[in-house]
Amino acid sequence: MTGRFDGTIPLLPVVAFVAAFAIVPAALLLATGTVGLGGLSGLVRLAADPLNRQALENSLLQGGASAAAAVAVGAPAGVFLGRYTFRGRSELLAVLIVPFLLPTLAVVLGVETIFGTGGVVSSVIPGTRVLGSGFGGIVAANVLYNAPVVTLLTAVGVESSSPALEETVATLGGGPFATFRDGWGRPAALGAAAGAVLTFLFSALAFAGPLLLCGAKCYTVEARIWSLDQVLLSPAAAAGLAVLLIGLLALPAAAYLALVARLRAARRSSDRPARPVPWGRPWVWPFAAATLVLGLSVAALLLAVLDAAARPAAPGAGEFSAFMQLFGPSVTSRLGVSTLAATANTVFFATVATALALLFAIATGFGLSARPGAARALRALVFAPLVVSPVVLSFALSQFWRPVFGGSSTVGVLILLAQATLAIPFALPAVEVALRRVPANLRESAQTLGQSPWPAYLDVELPLVRDGLVTAGLFAFALSFGEFTATYFLATPTFTTLPIELYRLEGVREPALAAAVAGLLVLVSLVAFLVIVRGGRRVEF
Amino acid sequence: MSSSDGLQVRSLGAAWGSAPVLTDVDLDVAEGEFVVLMGPNGSGKTTLLRCLVGLETPTTGTISLRGKVLDRIPTHRRGIGMLFQEPALFPHRTVWENVAYGLAVARRPRAEVDRRVADMLELLHLQPLADRAPDALSGGERQRVALARTLAPEPALVLLDEPFASVDAEIRRDLRSAFRRALSATRTAALHVTHDREEGLVLADRVVLLSEGRILQDGPPAKVYAAPASAESARFLGYNVVEEDGGTFAVAPSDVEIRPPGPGTHSGVVTLSGFAGANQLLEISLDDGTGIECRLPIGSRPPTVGETVGVRWGRSVPLPTRAA
């Protein structure tokens, strides 16, 4: 038995968009790759190539090590933040999203600044230099980027556990371990597992870290595909490797979606009351310490990048001189594009991609109000481009749509499409989760008062999810603003963005100028973060 | 009632998947009539209201209002107002704006909106709260605002889905009279759902008993109460249902008498005995397994739990055979 409004039509735009600009091109690319290499035997030969095998192993090793380390660091902090309230808790929860909003290149630069040669920490503790480059550096960057996400998801799990169940365990004589085992332990593990799998996925697909911190011997499959297509000009091999990449990540991606679905189902059923930190219990201290370490790491990362950006561009020059030089003619002559133009490109792409992602999120929210059962399938669909990976996505877009669009603005259109496709998986949940908290009878009341479904949605529900829309918009904007991998694959000099400028400045050995660009990117992320946290907004995954 | 008057429901059916929720429901509500739909939890009351207003799609049957068939008309064009268990006030609008909402949607002239909202606020004694936000109101005030909002666009019919369920007893009493007065003053037909039989019997011009998706009985409250049509109706109306001399009878708890066990009485064991405010409540399990509720006047010596007693009744209402 269903209501009269069907809800299918508002879901179609996002389905059509993701299908047209991600799924179908990727599928065709994969089919081309498989056929072009001579089927399964060709893929086996491709996997046996030493460099390809190394890339596959790197993806698995870097992904696995990063996931384990991110859980070790992030999960205890998530338990602490999920179970207890204390002054500054909501701010800390909000701060944790900052690394995720940062461009990956800025995180990589931060790792170099902290642990690299002459780094802030490595000059005091030489043993930490192992985290400044190579495998250690890649894992450190992945952990800094992802451990906060593990913390947030673990906290969501803990918050979803039933306080009544814990109280029942206690009244039946159960101590802290029994409360953990029969109460909050399972949902916490669910959140931590979701965080671990997500970390694995993002780390196995890492691009900037292997490129800048290690080089070809540490390339992940993602970086290897880029190298095959863009450097070695072997698109057929790149397409074949994309098939292997998707085969490698399909299972973890499905596991992540299943874990998040369970986490969301648990979250709906609970509203955990505030509980102060029991400082008198010794077992709480390690959790508090883990939280402190994580908070300090995030702060150190931001300060390191901003400090590097503020340093003089050359000996004798003043502080912040790199920023001045950045907008001067020397950068334009070295890179063939001005920083102002790169900034304009970045703002333009991020704004349009965000607008698209928000429009899809709004339409989808309306459709899901009538077809809530479609949420899971839709989530899987919009998440697919992340698994397909930014490099494969842009590769596929380029192969499939470049001939169709033609003209000089094709690259710009492709960058927009790629950025929007990669922003949608993050914008959609923020709006969807906010809408789910609006009681259905508000919309139904509006309808019984004569309002038709779409105006009732705009008039009654959307104003109540303003926070969700702001969060979704800023999250999408920050991610698009710092997007490097897909954009770098597609861009020509005319369409250079700030992250690409950062990468190229590193390449031409202008670390001070690169740091200044990273500083700019971090500042934008921080502004997005500050607006998100106003009013206690939280980012949803 | 002519076919152009009020609400007419014929052969209505609804289902969740393959499980029927409503079966062959026929129901009329005349213009200005206050009908109370009563039934236990899960009997299909709310589903029936949601079908009437168009929030659920029936599997069979026809709904018409003032002679117009509503089956293909969406919720917002049916002209049926609905009040939910929770008031569902728009939190981003003031009381005045909430009450004006339906009129604004219908694009009524500004002067008419102002006048109508003022009338509704006055009718429900809400004028001092006009500029308040919903979250600054008490539970009872919110429900009165919700009713004012529902009545403002002058719907042909108002559906009330247990609107007093989430407020405490004292506020419920005030709301009952306020709602009844407001609906009478506006001469609005209403279909009110409740599982509180006293509330239903007190408020209704006519009561409809619903159980397991079927209508059991329909009529004026006194008539329905005096002559329950089935054992199920009798039980819902608070009667004991007993078998005696090959027949089935409804016996009101106040008509049950306690005597020493012996000839002319039914023997049973007291399973509960307690003070119930205006009277003493006893629950007795008869030897044949039938459970009997009995209310004794305060002052009489109540038997204790476990005591064997004799039970007899003064008045009883015969019920159709095989209905028990």
pLDDT tens track of chain B, all 324 residues? 554 589 999 999 999 888 999 999 999 999 999 999 999 888 999 999 999 999 889 999 999 999 999 998 988 889 999 999 888 899 889 999 999 999 999 899 999 999 999 999 999 999 999 999 999 999 999 999 999 999 999 999 999 999 988 788 888 888 888 999 999 999 999 999 998 888 999 999 999 999 999 999 999 999 999 999 999 999 999 999 998 888 899 999 999 999 999 998 999 999 999 988 888 999 999 999 999 999 988 877 889 999 999 999 988 899 986 543
For A357-369, what is the mean pLDDT?
A: 91
Give the chain B residue nearest A440 (alpha carbons).
B88
| pLDDT at residue B169, rounded to an integer | 83
Question: Between A447 and A161, whose confidence is greater?
Answer: A447
- For residue A460, the chain B residues in CB contact (below 8 A) are 90
| pLDDT at residue B324, rounded to an integer | 39
Q: Tell me the residues of chain A between 462 and 501 that have a Cβ less than 8 Å away from chain B.
A: 463-464
SS3 (DSSP) at A184: helix
Which of A441, A442, A443, A448 has the most B C-beta neighbours within 10 Å, making it the best mutation to test the interface with B? A448
Nearest to B102 among A2, A444, A449 (CB): A449
Task: Report how far residue A326's alpha carbon sits from residue A324's, in angstroms, rounded to the nearest whole number.
Answer: 5
- The proportion of chain A whose per-residue pLDDT surpasses 90, expressed as a percent, equals 32
**Which residue in the block uniquely carries the two structure tokens 């004028």?**
B127
Domain boundaries, chain B: 7-226, 240-319
Please give the mean pLDDT across all residues of chain A.
87
- For residue B146, the chain A residues in CB contact (below 8 A) are 445
Residue A270 pLDDT greater than 60, yes or no: no
Strand B240-244 and strand B7-16: the pairing is unpaired
Q: What is the DSSP string of A354-413?
A: HHHHHHHHHHHHHHHHH-GGGHHHHHHHHHHHHHH-HHHHHHHHHHHHHHHH-STTHHHH
| pLDDT at residue A171, rounded to an integer | 74
| pLDDT at residue A535, rounded to an integer | 55
Task: Report how far residue A78's alpha carbon sits from residue A93's, in angstroms, rounded to the nearest whole number.
Answer: 9
Name the CATH topology of A1-29+320-535: MetI-like fold (1.10.3720)
Amino acid in position B79: G
Task: Report how far residue B178's alpha carbon sits from residue B158's, in angstroms, rounded to the nearest whole number.
Answer: 15
Instruction: Name the token pair of A102.
Output: 């940062």
In which residue ranges of chain A is CATH 1.10.3720.10 found?
A: 1-29+320-535, 49-271+282-305
Contacts of A88 (CB under 8 A, 6+ apart): none
- The proportion of chain A whose per-residue pLDDT surpasses 70, expressed as a percent, equals 95
Categorize the per-residue pLDDT at A417 as very low, low, confident or very high, splitting at 50, 70 and 90.
very high
Instruction: Name the token pair of A309.
Output: 């950006």
| pLDDT at residue B323, rounded to an integer | 41
Range B7-226 has CATH code 3.40.50.300: yes
Q: Tell me the residues of chain B between 76 and 95 that have a Cβ less than 8 Å away from chain A.
A: 76-82, 84, 86, 88, 90-92
Could A450 and B76 be called an inter-chain contact, meaning their C-beta atoms sit closer than 8 Å? yes
| pLDDT at residue B191, rounded to an integer | 97
Q: How far is A424 from chain B (nearest CA, A)?
A: 28
Nearest to B153 among A5, A449, A460 (CB): A449
Residue A219 pLDDT greater than 70, yes or no: yes
Q: Tell me the residues of chain B between 128 and 157 that have a Cβ less than 8 Å away from chain A.
A: 146, 149-150, 153
Could A441 and B57 be called an inter-chain contact, meaning their C-beta atoms sit closer than 8 Å? no
Name the CATH topology of A49-271+282-305: MetI-like fold (1.10.3720)
Amino acid in position A478: A
**Which residue in the block uniquely carries the two structure tokens 């003209």?**
A407
Which of B90, B149, B188 has the most A C-beta neighbours within 10 Å, making it the best mutation to test the interface with A? B90
Maximal CA-CA distance, chain A: 76
Look up the CATH superfamily of B240-319. Nucleic acid-binding proteins (2.40.50.140)
A483-504 pLDDT, tens digit per residue, is 998 999 898 888 999 999 998 9
Residue A167 pLDDT greater than 50, yes or no: yes
